[in-house]
């Protein structure tokens, strides 16, 4: 896509001193049940619930493709002339929250929208710390959100910086999944996407810790991919550097070979890579 000039902040709009979200719409199958659940939870913004039209399908199908304000499609981008990278779906969306909002936000998604809490973890990176919970739509499992808040008792770090630069809570990164992370990373890197670096020592004992089958150790080292496994299988993942003007939004490439969890052994390494990139920016 080609980005066109557009105001990014309320302060960029003449005569506008404050800008707030008026409402958020959620499309649900059972409107009555969702409305009853909404009454049991508090949330900082008004939500508007609509019943999904069974004949029209999803909101995207009903209203046509939507792009962010200020964006237009790149000519020829969807005509099949460019080889794809093999990323076929959104694995999850990570959202940064203000300190103290994690429990209430997770509770809202459970009570109002019928999500399930499937994972929680405390992440410590140096003298920084953050708490995270993962919620997933219970019926289809198609929507997964990773909710993250900074620990105010620890030193301010990357989550605090995101909240400051983003002017509040918001989407920190999108994780896109496919069936060949090595190919995806190589293809994207060749097209100018910058990925975060993984220390070479990470791979020294990797072959002893995890049985590699489809991707060779040299391929993983060359592409900086991290590896983890659970009872279901293996997981390969990597973060991109942020290309956003405010260094906020970034992306993740992920490949699941049966793994159902979220790379517990990798989470600390992933956020350490983000911290190295963040401190590197600050030093430039």
User: Is the pLDDT at 258 greater than 70, yes or no?
Assistant: yes
Residue 213 pLDDT level (bands cut at 50, 70, 90):
confident
Percent of the chain with pLDDT over 70: 68
Average pLDDT over residues 193-198: 92
Q: Which residue has the higher pLDDT, 150 or 43?
A: 150
- Give me the residue spans of the domains in the chain: 2-72, 87-283
pLDDT for res 226: 93
Distance CA(89)–CA(2), nearest Å, equals: 22
Nearest one of 144, 147, 164, 40 to 100, comparing CA atoms: 147
Indicate the range of 31-45, 156-170, 209-223, 237-251 predicted with least confidence: 31-45
Rounded to an integer, the average pLDDT of 186-190 is: 94
d(CA 41, CA 46): 12
Give dist(CA 53, CA 65) in Å, integer: 17
Q: What does the block give as tokens for 246?
A: 């405010």
Evaluate if residue 13 carries a pLDDT over 50. no
Of 127-136, 147-156, 205-214, minimum mean pLDDT range: 205-214
Angle between helices 264-283 and 158-166 (to 10 degrees): 60
Quote the mean pLDDT of the chain.
79
Task: Pull the structure tokens for residue 9.
Answer: 């902040």
**pLDDT value at position 102?**
98
- Kind plus residue range of the DSSP H or E element containing 209: helix 206-209
User: Which band of pLDDT confidence, cut at 50, 70 and 90, is reported for residue 42?
Assistant: very low
In this prediction, residue 177 has a pLDDT band, given cuts at 50, 70 and 90, of: very high
Tens of pLDDT along 47-93?
A: 555 555 444 444 333 344 556 666 666 665 555 545 789 999 999 99
Confidence (pLDDT) at 40: 41
Contact (CB, 8 A) for 37 and 28: no
* HEC per residue, 142-196: CCEEEEEEECCCCCCCHHHHHHHHHCCCEEEEEEEEECCHHHHHHHHHHCCCCEC
Contact 37/113 with Cβ under 8 angstroms?
Answer: yes
Cβ–Cβ < 8 Å for 147, 92: no
Q: What pLDDT score was predicted for residue 260?
A: 86
Sort residue 76 into left (φ over 0), alpha (ψ -120 to 50) or beta. Answer: left
Residue 43 has pLDDT above 50, yes or no: no
Token output for 260: 């159902």
* Token reading at 217: 């150790």
Structure tokens at 230: 């659970």
Residue in the block written with tokens 């990139």: 277
Structure confidence by residue, pLDDT tens digits, 221-235: 999 999 988 888 899
For 56-65, 205-214, 248-257, which range has the lowest pLDDT when averaged over its residues?
A: 56-65
Q: Which residue has the higher pLDDT, 172 or 3?
A: 172
Alpha carbons 27 and 35: distance in angstroms, whole number: 12
Q: Among residues 263, 236, 259, which one has the least CA distance to residue 123? A: 263
- Give yes or no for a contact between 281 and 247, defined as CB atoms under 8 angstroms apart: yes
Nearest-CA neighbor of 95 among 168, 13, 33? 168
Q: What is the Cα–Cα distance from 68 to 112, expressed in whole angstroms?
A: 27
pLDDT at 214: 87
Identify the CATH homologous superfamily for domain 87-283.
2,3-Dihydroxybiphenyl 1,2-Dioxygenase, domain 1 (3.10.180.10)
In DSSP terms, 124 is beta-bridged to 129
d(CA 280, CA 89): 31
Q: Which of 196-200, 255-259, 275-279 has the lowest mean pLDDT?
A: 275-279
Cβ pair 147, 97 in contact under 8 A: yes
* pLDDT grade for 137, boundaries at 50, 70 and 90: very high
Cβ 48 vs Cβ 25: under 8 Å? yes
The residue among 45 and 153 whose pLDDT is bigger is 153
Higher pLDDT: 266 or 42? It is: 266
């Amino acid at each position: 896509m080609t980005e066109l000039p557009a105001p990014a902040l309320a302060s960029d709009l003449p005569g506008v001193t404050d800008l707030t979200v008026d409402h958020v719409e959620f499309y649900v199958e059972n409107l009555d049940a969702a409305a009853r659940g909404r009454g049991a939870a508090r949330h900082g913004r008004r939500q508007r619930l609509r019943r999904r039209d069974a004949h029209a399908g999803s909101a995207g199908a009903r209203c046509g493709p939507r792009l962010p304000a200020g964006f237009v499609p790149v000519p020829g981008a969807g005509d099949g002339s460019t080889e794809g990278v093999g990323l076929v779906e959104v694995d999850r969306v990570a959202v940064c929250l203000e300190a103290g909002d994690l429990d209430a936000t997770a509770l809202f998604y459970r009570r109002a929208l019928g999500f399930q809490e499937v994972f929680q973890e405390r992440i410590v990176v140096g003298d920084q710390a953050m708490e995270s919970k993962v919620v997933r739509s219970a019926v289809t499992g198609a929507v997964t959100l990773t909710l993250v808040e900074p620990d105010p008792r620890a030193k301010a770090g990357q989550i605090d910086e995101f909240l400051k630069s983003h002017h509040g809570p918001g989407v920190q990164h999108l994780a896109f999944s496919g069936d060949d992370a090595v190919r995806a990373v190589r293809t994207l890197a060749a097209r100018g996407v910058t990925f975060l670096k993984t220390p070479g020592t990470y791979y020294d004992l990797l072959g002893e810790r995890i049985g590699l089958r489809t991707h060779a150790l040299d391929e993983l080292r060359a592409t900086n991919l991290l590896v983890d496994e659970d009872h279901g299988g293996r997981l390969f993942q990597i973060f991109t550097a942020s290309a956003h003007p405010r260094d906020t939004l970034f992306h993740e490439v992920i490949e699941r070979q049966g793994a159902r969890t979220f790379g517990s052994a990798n989470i600390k390494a992933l956020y350490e890579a983000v911290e190295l990139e963040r401190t590197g920016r600050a030093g430039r």
